[in-house]
Amino acid sequence: MAVPQAGSTACMSAGDKISNKIDELAGKGKEAAGRATDDPDLEAEGQGQQAVSNLKQAGEKVKDAFK
């Protein structure tokens, strides 16, 4: 059985934060592309992706507050 190394949760948390930020930026790109091409479905998909990313980021902040 592997023993967790000190600070390993911090690395996971940082990775999660980066992943969430990438998702947020991808959502912004989809939203902008949807606006540019007059595609309301793509625009809404981008907005939804941003909302999910923002919720995940808020969860990371809560986890950080309890460390």
Comparison of pLDDT for 16 and 48, the residue scoring more: 48
pLDDT digits (tens, 9 = 90+) for 20-54: 999 999 999 999 999 999 999 999 999 999 999 99
Residue 10 lies in a domain: no
Instruction: Judge whether 26 lies within some domain.
Output: yes
Q: How many whole angstroms separate alpha carbon 67 and alpha carbon 57?
A: 16
Banded pLDDT at 64 (limits 50, 70, 90): confident
Provide the number of structural domains found in the chain: 1
Residue 33: its pLDDT value, please? 98
Neighbours of 36 (CB within 10 A): 10
**Residue 8 covered by a domain:** no
Q: What is the pLDDT of residue 3?
A: 45
Q: Around Cβ 51, how many Cβ atoms within 10 Å? A: 12
From residue 31, alpha-carbon distances to 10, 15, 19, 53, 67 in Å are 31, 24, 18, 14, 35
Query: pTM of the predicted model, to two decimals?
Result: 0.75
